């Protein structure tokens, strides 16, 4: 299944600014969309498109923590591409179907004790997911209903607008340095485009996970709302964004994002080579191993 999906992604690179026109709270929020039709039934991600509003809800449903594995990222890129090509879709809300977590970020097991060939394939999938989401011409809103470290934060930052549950126990940020690894330049660029240079420098060096209130203060998220209202608030925000004529908004989005996208396009291969050589280092493997152990101990 996943190899078929992967083959499909290789065929589709057109989404880049192509200018084509658990809890009770969660189920309650989803009832908001009365005329939803199941759009995709892939295993890790559920997508429902409301034919009346043109708004799709993409729900991550990959237990235990929606980590971004190779298969998850492949499904994600395909789903975003499908929506990109669908003229009846105007906006996408991204959220989690799991309690307490939006996404735990890149699946560390994909970067641990695997072959260089695997690292190449995995990193291509990470890049592809970013190109598709950051370059999407649709209005994209992240409804962040749980923790969102590292790659989870990246996905949220790729969206046009972020609404987070006001639970102070939830956090979001690029915490890579805490794992002994380094966020690549395009993760950094994406954050810088959201919160500016100084906050990004502090956030990256410290590997800071911002609590929800801290994230609001620095502009990493745009709104905090009660947890059970995250998706309905995202829908309300979406209607404001969709009130703007698509072509004007899309051109504005492209104007803002194209230089960042072009930067990775120009360095795509070098970025893969860097990732593989960095990840293959004994010292990095040791750090990742220790981090996984720490996660397990924290649990027991």
| Catalytic machinery residues | 106, 151, 175-176
User: Phi first, then psi: what are they for 265, rounded to 5°?
Assistant: -55, -40
Using CB under 6 A as the binding rule, whether residue 176 contacts ligand LKXGUNVN is answered as yes
The candidate with the shortest Cα–Cα distance to 57, out of 86, 23, 85, 96, is 96
Map residues 21-60 to x or -, x wherever contact with ligand LKXGUNVN holds by CB under 6 A: ----------------------------------------
Task: Please tell me the distance from the alpha carbon of residue 297 to that of residue 53, in angstroms, as a whole number.
Answer: 46
Of 64 and 245, the one with the shorter C-beta distance to ligand LKXGUNVN is: 64
Map residues 248-287 to x or -, x wherever contact with ligand LKXGUNVN holds by CB under 6 A: --------------------------xx--xx--------
Q: Which stretch binds ligand LKXGUNVN (CB under 6 A): 64-72, 131-139, 160-168, 241-249?
A: 64-72
Q: What 8-state DSSP symbol labels residue 165?
A: E
Q: Which of 10, 87, 296, 297 binds ligand LKXGUNVN (CB under 6 A)?
A: 296
Of 56 and 125, the one with the shorter C-beta distance to ligand LKXGUNVN is: 125
Residues numbered 184 to 203 that lie near ligand LKXGUNVN (CB under 6 A) are: 184
Shortest distance (Å) from residue 111 CB to ligand LKXGUNVN? 7
Helix axes 116-134, 185-195, angle to 10 degrees: 30
Q: What 8-state DSSP symbol labels residue 176?
A: G
Report the run of H or E that residue 242 belongs to, with start and end: helix 230-242
Residues numbered 101 to 160 that lie near ligand LKXGUNVN (CB under 6 A) are: 101, 104-109, 147, 149-151
Using CB under 6 A as the binding rule, whether residue 182 contacts ligand LKXGUNVN is answered as yes
Q: And the tokens for 196?
A: 């500016």
User: Phi first, then psi: what are they for 12, rounded to 5°?
Assistant: -125, 105
Shortest distance (Å) from residue 100 CB to ligand LKXGUNVN? 5
Task: Please tell me the distance from the alpha carbon of residue 80 to that of residue 240, in angstroms, as a whole number.
Answer: 21
Report the run of H or E that residue 45 belongs to, with start and end: strand 45-50
Q: Which of 34, 38, 64, 297 binds ligand LKXGUNVN (CB under 6 A)?
A: 64
Of 50 and 271, the one with the shorter C-beta distance to ligand LKXGUNVN is: 271
Q: Which stretch binds ligand LKXGUNVN (CB under 6 A): 80-88, 155-163, 252-260, 291-299?
A: 291-299
3-state percent breakdown (helix, strand, coil) of the chain, nearest 5: 55, 15, 30
Using CB under 6 A as the binding rule, whether residue 295 contacts ligand LKXGUNVN is answered as yes
DSSP secondary structure letters along 79-125: HHHHHHH-TT--EEEEEESSSSBS---B-GGGGSS--HHHHHHHHHH
Cβ–Cβ under 8 Å, residues 93 and 32: no
> Residues in the site for ligand LKXGUNVN, rule: CB under 6 A?
64-65, 67, 100-101, 104-109, 147, 149-151, 175-176, 179, 181-184, 274-275, 278-279, 292, 295-296, 299
């Amino acid at each position: 299944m996943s190899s078929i999906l992967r083959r499909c992604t290789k065929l589709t690179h057109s989404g880049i600014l192509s200018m084509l026109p658990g809890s009770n709270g969660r189920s309650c929020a989803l009832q908001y969309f009365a005329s939803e039709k199941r759009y995709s039934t892939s295993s890790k991600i559920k997508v429902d498109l409301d034919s009346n509003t043109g708004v799709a809800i993409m729900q991550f449903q990959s237990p235990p923590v929606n980590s971004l594995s190779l298969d998850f990222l492949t499904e994600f890129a395909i789903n975003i591409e499908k929506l990109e090509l669908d003229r009846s879709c105007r906006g996408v809300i991204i959220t989690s179907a799991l309690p307490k977590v939006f996404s735990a970020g890149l699946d560390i097991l994909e970067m641990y004790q695997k072959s260089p060939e695997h690292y190449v394939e995995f990193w291509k999938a990470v890049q592809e997911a970013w190109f598709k989401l950051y370059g999407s011409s649709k209005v994209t809103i992240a409804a962040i209903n749980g923790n969102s470290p590292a790659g989870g934060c990246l996905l949220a930052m790729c969206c046009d607008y972020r609404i987070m549950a006001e639970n102070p126990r939830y956090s979001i940020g690029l915490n890579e340095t805490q794992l002994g690894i380094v966020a690549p330049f395009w993760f950094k660029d994406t954050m810088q485009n959201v919160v500016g240079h100084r906050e990004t420098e502090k956030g990256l060096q410290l590997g800071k996970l911002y609590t929800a209130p801290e994230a609001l203060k620095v502009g990493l998220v745009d709104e905090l709302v009660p947890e059970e209202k995250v998706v309905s608030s995202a829908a309300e925000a979406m209607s404001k964004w969709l009130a703007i004529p698509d072509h004007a908004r899309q051109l504005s989005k492209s104007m803002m994002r194209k230089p960042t996208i072009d930067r990775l396009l120009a360095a795509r291969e070098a970025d893969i080579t860097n990732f593989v050589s960095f990840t293959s280092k004994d010292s990095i493997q040791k750090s990742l191993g220790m981090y996984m152990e720490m996660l397990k101990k924290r649990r027991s």
